[in-house]
Structure 1
Amino acid sequence: MMRVGRRTGDGSMTFRSIWLIFTACAAVSLVVAAMAALNTALPDIAVDTGATNAEMTWIIDGYTLVLAALLLPAGAIGDRIGRRTVLLVGLAVFGTASLAAVWVDGPTSLIVTRVGAGVGAALIMPSTLSLITAGVPREKRAIAISVWAAVAGAGAIAGFFVTGLLLNFFHWNSVFIAFAASSAATFLLTLTIGSSKDEHPGRFDVLGSLTSMSAVAGVVYGLLEGPHRGWTDPLILVCLIGGAGLIVAFVRIEQRRTDPLLDVGLFRNRAFASGSLSVALQFLASFGLFYLVLQQLQMVYGYSALKSAVALFPMVAGVGVFAMLGNWIAVRFDSLRFVLATGIGITAAGVILLGVVDTDEYWKLGVLLSVCAVGIGLATAPSTTAIMSNTPLENQGVGSAVNDTAREFGAAIGIALAGSIMAAGYEARIGATAAAAKNQIGAFDPAAGAQAEEAIRGSLAGAVKVSDSLPGQASQLAHEIVSGAQGAFLPPMQSACLVLGGTLAVGALFLGWFAPRKILEPAC
């Protein structure tokens, strides 16, 4: 099987290696952008399809859940049958599912297409990184991983931006057409690169695959749905407790197998384990902030979807620049511990400041987002390099899948923390505003008053929607609703930032103690 990226005697980067990196980054950007893009288009989709709140949640979470659950088996399949082959199949599935979404006639069929796109994304994501690490000369691998990590880190914001731009001019279907067209273009690019695989794979671990899929799906579902259903909901408890139990069962199964899906002994390698934890913390910060800040930009500042995406550009710049710097420092000075602890620590400081500083003007928010981006950027590439450098070359697909699974877990935890704190805090503060609106609107139309109260109690977005629907002569009531809802939103938003930042600070301290100095660390 041809290896990607011709190796030269001096370890220099060839055009083939550069082309490989470009192609892999194009593919991974699709997957990450699709995780975020529909958040922007969801209001329009809900109006056209008649989706309920629960269905809107699944339009977003169906993709994420399937992606997270299938990553490990997908990475192992790529190691066995060829990473380029799996990438091509993934692009075909992702593109077909995206195109099918153009013709949906209801929320259920849209959810099905999103689940299909998640299957394709699970095949794409681990293949991109494993192709790079197997095909780029060892001396240039850190640079290649830095580029991949920067693109993967900024992909969500690119998704927000492209979606906002399309929605400014076209119907929400255009978002799926763009994904389908991008998939087709990336498919053609992928045909021009070589492949790699494990030349002597063992038997595929069916039991381990089924156990890992069930465990990840249970935990991620519980984390994503917990803020909506409540943490004491029986289904959420079953998913979280059952998922945790399946993770323990998965570890025991893998320890006893000759050809495991995942060599769980890799986590005894401190560099591998530290990289995995750091990746999870970065995405906890990123997606927790996206959840909070996008609402602030659109519902408090009054920004459009496109302007909100542009407002997040400081994060793109920070992550892009400091990903290269962080990896160079970690590799050049054997300072993985310093870079990971410092990066996560700076991120923690930025998020905590968002919980302390009154960001009543954008420039304050932009500065603090830049601080967060510097920290995430410093830690992102060294974390992935530590994971991939300590994974055997023949198992790079599984190593990449571990990296990606850590991202999904981190994102789910970040959204769960932010969402739960926001929901509880908002509900505790919005009562007087919702009751006043019900009384005033209900004086003329009791049914409309009850509906308005429910929407206002539900979320800041619901309150803004009620305000916008009122006639001009009710401008004073509209102002009171928006003012009251914003007043109920901002304190719990700051509380959520403090909790997220505190979690990151604890993680930074742990990494400062646990992470090794060198990226390449022999297993314990």
Structure 2
Amino acid sequence: MTRSQVWLLTVACAAVATVIAAMASLNTALPDIAVETGATQAQLTWIVDGYTLALAALLLPAGALGDRFGRRGVMLAGLVVFGIGSALPLFVSDPTWLIAARAVAGVGAALVMPATLSLITAAFPAEHRSRGIGIWAGVAGSGAVIGMLASGVILEYWSWEVIFAGFAVISVVLVIAGATVGSSRAAEPARFDILGAVLVVAAVGLFVLGVMEGPQRGWVDPLTVGSLVTGVVAGVVFVLVERRSPAPLLDVRLFTQRAFAVGAGSLTLQYLAGFGVFYLIVQYLQLVLGYSPLMSAVALTPIFLVVMALSVGMPMLLRWFGLRVLMSAGLALIGVSLIVMGLLDADSSYTDVALAMAIAGVGIGVCTAPATHAIVTNTPEDQLGVASAVNDATREVGAAIGVAVAGSVLAAAYGHRIDPVAPSIPEPARSAVQDSLAAAVQVAEAAGPQGDALADVARDAFLAGMQQGMWALAAILLVGAVASALWAPARS
């Protein structure tokens, strides 16, 4: 790689790591935010989900803007918006304002993510492109762990506001650094497809909203059902409109290419598993094994280390094994790791946790970079921004579905185990115990020695729910592995 390519890769990877870290970093800070701002459980959920919803809904239009107007300019604009959204909580701490600030930051992240990958793809010649894509994919795949680790360190010594301040400062540094990299755009940019942009924002945004609200409101709640159905209908209309458009926002015929379609499907499954695991395993580490937020983030580092090492070696792996083997083997390994995680209990050691994390890291490292490579290398040069947005949108949709699946299965199994003992618990403690393991642990601690039995029952109920959640995710991944083995082309 030339010096300019190394610098571009450094800036682009730092930018994508920042916006992905911002997705996961607040999870460890939610208890502190609740205490200091008075946020309700629903508001806490939206402080996290507002960012993800804005990001997922706007990715495809943002990618098209980069193709048309220049990818560096769109990345810099996104970093500015992301920085403003990150800085707002330093001046206003009302929960409603925090949700709005996170949504603003999500809009900025939507501009940043596809621009970083399309800049790398356009700057690297074909013979070196897989190396750049592999490094980018490794960083993107590890961004959530980086975010939780950084927030854990911050919360160990400072307050939650420092997390927002850190993102604001980093965005300023990246704007300055990003102004020095080369730019690219479509050689013959088409007109911007406004109708397609509106439809895809509605389709992705409403579907993700429904998936997010399902575990909280219930899957038959009118808002949940209405959002999911309307999102699917908008998606069908989007496909019909794009097939007839002379200048579509997304050429939906790209999905008829097996490599492109398998890459998109694989990324959806990987993030479905990854964020579902994070949702369950962080609670397990903190509430069952007694880890601090920092130590629970450190415990996840085997995933980060293995993913980065394998992503750097992605060009060699692709040459040796091809797309089909890597896709199916990677998804199968992730599925196996989920089965192992489902076997963890209150007596498990960190060695047991690290083994499961390492297996997951190998699976993610084996198939994340090849999936991204399959998407961007099977797309015309003039549509690199949109291809990058497809790569990112599948991640966000998969993450939302993974948390929804894990959360719903956990809640159902936990409630089934805890309901028989609930009548013996006086109100208002009964409602808290039925809510979650975290609330049950607080009630048990307040009850003194008499609460030990209650804490044990609640932990057993959580472990049963975690096991069922992990195994539900594992079943999805193993089915995906079989489908990839049957459908994926041997080579990208």
Query: Post-superposition shift, 1:104?
Result: 1.6
- Structure of greater Rg: 1
Q: Deviations over 1:434-472 (max 9, x none)?
A: 43332xxxxxxxxxxx2211111111111122234x1xx
Task: Quote how far apart the aligned CAs of 1:259 are.
Answer: 0.4
1:493 aligns with 2:481: no
What secondary structure is seen at the aligned counterpart in 2 of 1:199? coil
1:168-207 maps to which residues of 2 (within 5 A)? Answer: 168-207=156-195
In the TM superposition, what is the alpha-carbon distance from 1:60 to its structure 2 partner? 0.5
Corresponding position of 1:386: 374
CA shift, 1:209, in A, is: 0.3
Asked if the contact 1:70/1:122 (under 8 Å) is kept, the reply is: yes
Residue 432 of structure 1: CA displacement? 4.0
| CA–CA distance in structure 1, aligned partners of residues 61 and 321 of structure 2 | 33
* Correspondence for 1:301: 289
- Distance change in 2, residues 1:317/1:354 (3 Å): same
Q: Answer yes or no: is 1:80 the counterpart of 2:68.
A: yes
Structure 2 distance, partners of 1:179, 1:374, is 29
Count how many residue pairs are aligned between Structure 1 and Structure 2.
Answer: 491
Counterpart of 1:451? 428
Q: Does the Cα contact within 8 Å between 1:99 and 1:176 map onto a contact in 2?
A: yes
Q: Are the aligned partners of 1:74 and 1:126 in contact in 2 as well (CA < 8 Å)?
A: yes
Question: How does the TM-score come out when normalised to structure 2?
Answer: 0.98
C-alpha distance after superposition, 1:181-236 (max 9, x if no partner): 11111111101101000131111100000000000011111111101111011111
Aligned partner of residue 364 in structure 1, secondary structure: helix
Q: What is residue 8 of structure 1 aligned with on the other side?
A: none
Does the 8 Å contact 1:325/1:378 carry over to 2? no
Deviation, 1:357, is 5.1
Larger deviation: 480-489 or 491-500? 480-489
Q: Corresponding residue for 1:464? A: 441
Deviation string 1:460-489 (CA, Å, 9 cap, x unpaired) is: 111122234x1xxx4222322321210110
**Structure 1 position 360, deviation (Å):** 2.1
Query: Mean alpha-carbon deviation: is it higher for 272-281 or for 361-370?
Result: 361-370
1:63 aligns with 2:51: yes
Cα deviation, 1:117-146, whole Å, max 9, x if unaligned, reads 000000000000000000112211111111
Return the letter of the residue paired with 1:213.
V
Whether 2:246 is the aligned partner of 1:258: answer: yes
Provide the secondary structure at the position in 2 that maps to 1:74. Answer: helix
The question of whether the paired residues in 2 share the 8 Å contact of 1:326 and 1:379 is answered with no
Q: After TM superposition, list the pairs within 5 Å mapping 1:210-359 onto structure 2.
A: 210-330=198-318, 332-333=319-320, 335-356=322-343, 358=345
Aligned-partner residue type, residue 402 of structure 2: G
Matched, 1:141 2:129: yes
Cα distance change, pair 128–412 in 1 and its aligned pair in 2 (3 A): same
| TM-score of the two chains, using structure 1 as the length reference | 0.92
Are 1:327 and 1:381, in contact at CA under 8 Å, matched by a contact in 2? no
1:103 paired residue number: 91
Q: Which moved more, 1:451-460 or 1:213-222?
A: 451-460
Q: Check conservation: 1:430, 1:457, Cα contact below 8 A.
A: yes
Work out whether 1:409 is the aligned partner of 2:397. Answer: yes
Supply the distance in 2 between the matched residues of 1:475 and 1:42 (Cα, whole angstroms): 25
Correspondence for 1:132? 120
Deviations 1:135-158 (A, max 9, x none): 112211111111101111111011
Q: Are 1:514 and 2:491 an aligned pair?
A: no
Structure 2 gaps, min length 5: none
d(CA) in 2 for partners of 1:356, 1:340: 25
- Asked whether the 8 Å contact 2:33–2:160 carries over to 1, the reply is yes
Aligned match of 1:30 in 2, 18, 25?
18
Stretches of structure 1 lacking an aligned partner (at least 5 in a row): 1-12, 439-449, 520-524
* CA distance in structure 2 between the aligned counterparts of 1:467 and 1:131, rounded to whole angstroms: 53
Once residues 465 and 47 of structure 1 are traced to their aligned partners in structure 2, the CA distance between those partners, rounded to angstroms, is: 14
Letter in 1 for 2:76: L
Distance in 2 between the 1:465 and 1:135 partners? 54
- What letter corresponds to residue 138 of structure 1 in structure 2? A
- Quick one: which amino acid aligns to residue 486 of structure 1? R
Secondary structure at the aligned position of 2:250 is classed as coil
How far is the alpha carbon of 1:433 from its aligned partner? 4.2
Aligned-pair Cα RMSD in Å: 1.1
Distance (Å, rounded) in 2 between the aligned partners of 1:171 and 1:334: 47
Secondary structure, aligned partner of 1:231: coil
Show the counterpart of 1:443: none
Q: CA deviation at 1:328?
A: 2.2
Structure 2 counterpart SS, 1:200: coil
Q: Secondary structure at the match of 1:335?
A: helix
For 2:313 and 2:421, locate their aligned partners in 1 and report how far apart those are by CA, in whole Å: 49
